[in-house]
Structure formats: structure tokens, C-alpha cells
Amino acid sequence: MSDNVGFAVVGVGLVGPTHARFIHAAEGAELKVICDLREDRGKPLAEKYGAEWLTDFREVMKRPDIQVVNICLPTALHLEVATAAAEAGKHVIVEKPIELNLDRASKLIAVCRRNGVKLASIFNRRFVFGTRRAHDAVHNGELGRLVVADMFFKSWRTQEYYTESGWRGTWGKEGGASLINQGVHGVDLMTWIAGPVKRVQGYARHLRHDIEADDTTIAVCEYESGALGVIESTTSVYPRQPDRIELNGEKGTIVIEDYKIAKWEVDGVELGEPSAAELARPGADRGTAVGHFLQIQDMVYAIRERRDPVIKGEDALPSLAVIQAIYEAERTGQPVEVRQPATV
Ligand SMILES: NC(=O)c1ccc[n+]([C@@H]2O[C@H](COP(=O)([O-])OP(=O)(O)OC[C@H]3O[C@@H](n4cnc5c(N)ncnc54)[C@H](O)[C@@H]3O)[C@@H](O)[C@H]2O)c1
């Protein structure tokens, strides 16, 4: 009998196929089931990987050959499906954002903990050379104390992207729009690299799309370290501009553009370069997709080694706390203190 870890991907719209591809590529992993309500999405993908196509996620949870469920569904469904998985003893990999808000995210984390299953939260953009190198430069002191930490994520989505999905752009099913869907990647990187955000002031408006929630969000942040910075997240800027992060410390400046180091001016410190092994990893040819591969592979090793995944459920809370605070700042017109994970 094979001792491979059996996986199911639930939801194969935009991002689910990436999970399927990397489960197929991962050592010790076997893709058993693709679950999607839509035949045109689920069936061909299942056939491509020799997996079975199911439409009801409850059926997935009954399968003894599945140990891990990858949740790639609209955000408001993450809690329900993760609960079903955890209660059936399946480990969970959940796409970003983990859920609509901190309360639902905390429930999702708690149900996994209660049932003793592992929970990995996807933040694939932490795994490329540029973001990791910047993180290390801040955390090992190469950049000195941070003074300014900024993120500019100015992207473009069509009106159809929102209208045809049936869930994007709505408070009820997406929990927001540009900031919580696209911006969450950048906010995660900022809290990971620059540390906890203490307080925010901001605006979250829709300026170009006919949607309920934000397509243009701009906030000012005060980090717990004392550093200041801005968070900009849009789906209203045409054409899309490279995702940019700027870090200004006492000893220099680092600028990241589309996850590559665009500027490295750090006193007396060499940038270095990614290793050959790193460049040869599945997904490395597609930039930040390598993170999906590494997080899926990591789940297999975490199961074998009886340890937590490299990015756990709790690690999704700091960015969600900042996002929730920015939306509250828009609603109240006041600066908002960020709820820190320990108090979630
Ligand atoms: N990490 C990344 O780079 C990345 C990229 C895109 C999306 N995401 C995240 O992934 C999640 C999914 O986003 P998407 O853009 O792929 O969504 P999508 O709407 O393109 O796909 C969702 C799929 O789920 C299916 N579905 C809906 N309800 C279902 C149910 N009850 N049972 C089975 N299938 C069901 C739909 O038919 C659809 O195919 C979101 O949380 C999103 O934020 C992450």
C-alpha cells in the first residue's frame, strides 16, 4: 500500500488548478479528488491528473484515502468546509484570506486545533528570493531600525471579474474587495517583514467599479516599532503597475518590485542571489507560484515529521487584523487601533 498523502482540492476556479498542479508535482503527495460544483471546471482537471471529480464537499470528507483538503473556494465558504474537514480528521490548507473577518478566522483555527488537525494558511509570496531576503535583512539587523515601510499594490480588474464571479466585491461573500483579496498578500508581507501594525487611518472606496466594497484603498500605518508607512491596494489602476514594497531603515533602502529586489542600497551588505536549487523548484518559473508548491510540499513533510506547517492558521491573523482596522477607519472616519492576534 502506498504511504503517499492523499489530497483533495475543493474549488477549482482561478487558483484551484495551481494547487492541483503542485500536489501532482510534490514528493509523497497524491491528488485523489477534485471537487467543484461546475463540471466544466472539475471534470477535465480531475481527468488530467487521474483523480475523481466530486461535486459535494461532504462526500470528500467521507473518503479514507484523503488526508489533506485544499480549500480554494470563495472566502465565505472557508469556515464551513474547513469545519467539515477538521471534524472528519483531515488536515487543511486554506487559501488567503483565511476567512471574511477575525471572528470567523478564529473559529476556523479553533476547530482545526480542537480536532488535532494541521492548518496551513497560503501566503505564497513569502517564498520568493526578493521578499525572503528583505525579511531577513530587517530581522537580522542588516537594515537597522525601520523608519518607513510602504506597500503600493496598484492593479486592474475588469467589471466582469466582479460581476461574473457572484461573490467578489461584496461584503457578505468576500469581506471587502481589493484590500482583502489582492492587498492581503502585501499586508501579510508588511506585517511579516516590518512587524505588527499598531494603528491605522485610511480610506477604502470604490472609484471605478460597480461593487459594494473597495477597489481603491489607501491607509497610513504606525508600526509597533515606531516606523510609519502607507498601504495602497487597488484594482482600479489601469494598466496594472508592479506590486511595490519600499523599506527604509537606518542603514539603507530596499525596494521590491513584483517580488524581485529592484533596489538594494544597504551599507556594507551584499544582496546575494538565489541558489540553483531554489531556481529549479517547481513553480519557480512562474514567480510567486513557487510558494504554492513549497507550502503543499511542506504539508506532506509536516505530517511525516509530526510538526506544524511553516505558515500556520494563526499566521493569517495579523494581516486580517490590519485589513479589518482599515475598513473600520473608512466607516468611522477615525484612526483605529489594530486588534493584535493575542487578543483575537
Ligand atoms: N494565493 C493566490 O494567489 C490566490 C489567487 C486567486 C484566489 N485566491 C483565493 O482563493 C479562493 C478562491 O478564489 P478563486 O478566485 O479561485 O475563486 P473562483 O470563483 O474563481 O473559484 C471558486 C470555485 O469554487 C467552486 N465552488 C463554489 N462553491 C462550491 C461548493 N459549495 N462546492 C464545490 N465547489 C464550489 C466554483 O464553482 C468555482 O469554480 C479565494 O479565497 C481567493 O482569495 C488566492
Fold of 5-124+288-312: Rossmann fold (3.40.50)
* Geometric angle at alpha carbon 305, from 302 and 311, rounded to 5°: 25
Calculate how far, in angstroms, residue 40's C-alpha sits from the geometric centre of ligand 1. 14
Distance between CA atoms of residues 265 and 113, nearest Å = 43
Calculate how far, in angstroms, residue 14's C-alpha sits from the geometric centre of ligand 1. 6
Nearest-atom index, ligand 1, CA of 166: 19
157 pocket-lining for ligand 1 (C-beta < 6 Å): no
73 pocket-lining for ligand 1 (C-beta < 6 Å): yes
95 pocket-lining for ligand 1 (C-beta < 6 Å): yes
Q: Return the amino acid letter for 245.
A: I
Residues of the chain with pLDDT under 50: 343-344
Fold of 126-261+318-343: Dihydrodipicolinate Reductase; domain 2 (3.30.360)
22 pocket-lining for ligand 1 (C-beta < 6 Å): no
Quick check: helix, strand or coil at residue 57? Answer: helix
Contact partners, residue 22, CB within 8 Å, separation at least 6: 282, 283, 289, 292, 293, 296, 297
What's the pLDDT score for residue 342? 62
Cell of 210: 460597480
* Geometric angle at alpha carbon 260, from 218 and 188, rounded to 5°: 45
57 pocket-lining for ligand 1 (C-beta < 6 Å): yes
* Residue ranges covered by each domain of the chain: 5-124+288-312, 126-261+318-343
Residues in the chain: 344
74 pocket-lining for ligand 1 (C-beta < 6 Å): yes
What's the pLDDT score for residue 287? 86
Nearest-atom index, ligand 1, CA of 11: 24
DSSP H helices, the chain, are 16-25, 39-49, 57-61, 78-87, 102-114, 129-139, 159-163, 171-174, 178, 184-194, 276-279, 290-305, 317-332
Strand partners, 291: none
What's the pLDDT score for residue 285? 83
